[in-house]
Amino acid sequence: MAVMNGTEVDEIVERAQHGDNEAFEQLFARFGKALFTTIVRIVGDVDSAEELLQEAFLRIYRKLSTFDKRSSFYTWAYRIAVNMSLNYLKSKASRKETQLEPELWDSIPAPDVTEKDAVFLQEATRVAIQKIPPRQRAVLVMRVYDGMDYAEVAKTLGCSQGAAKANFHFAMQKLKKHLKEYE
């Protein structure tokens, strides 16, 4: 599908709000992959992320009439997906450590390392990120992987910018602590 500008997205959202299922499918085609990537980075499990994406789009479909365009559709849908991911992690707090899917994470190689070392460091980073508490992990994903500023993170999570900054700070401290042995 071709890239849509904001006006085109608004028109498709409006059609979907009026019951046009094809328009809703276009929204899924346009935004599903990006939301899936964010969800899997937060929950760390492809199968759970697939289910959460389906649930998120079901919720988006049911609540589409309440979308008031104060933010972009993507921001609104992103907020729903992140909140569902955090709720999922809260409900699964007592489960075992998650299995991670390496191909869904960006490479974070250290300078002057061999390819084998870089792969090892990337895996260590993924494991370390999963050890960070869910809300801090979500802020880390939003800032580092999704490139959001603190205002966007705060709006998405419904918290202050100060709380977003604090969560990011603590997430980075914990990440550094977990990766200290690889320095």
Taking the complete model, does pTM exceed 0.75, yes or no?
A: no
For the domain covering 105-183, report its CATH number. Answer: 1.10.10.10
Write down the domain spans for the chain.
1-102, 105-183
Q: What is the pLDDT of residues 52-87, one digit of tens each?
A: 999 999 999 999 999 988 888 998 999 999 999 999
In words, the CATH class of domain 1-102 is mainly alpha
Place of tokens 């759970």: 48
Residues 161 and 154 sit within 8 Å (Cβ to Cβ): yes
DSSP assignment string, 42-102: HH--HHHHHHHHHHHHHHHHHHGGG--SSS-HHHHHHHHHHHHHHHHHHHTTTSPPPPP-G
Please state, in angstroms and rounded to a whole number, the distance separating the CA atoms of residues 7 and 75: 15
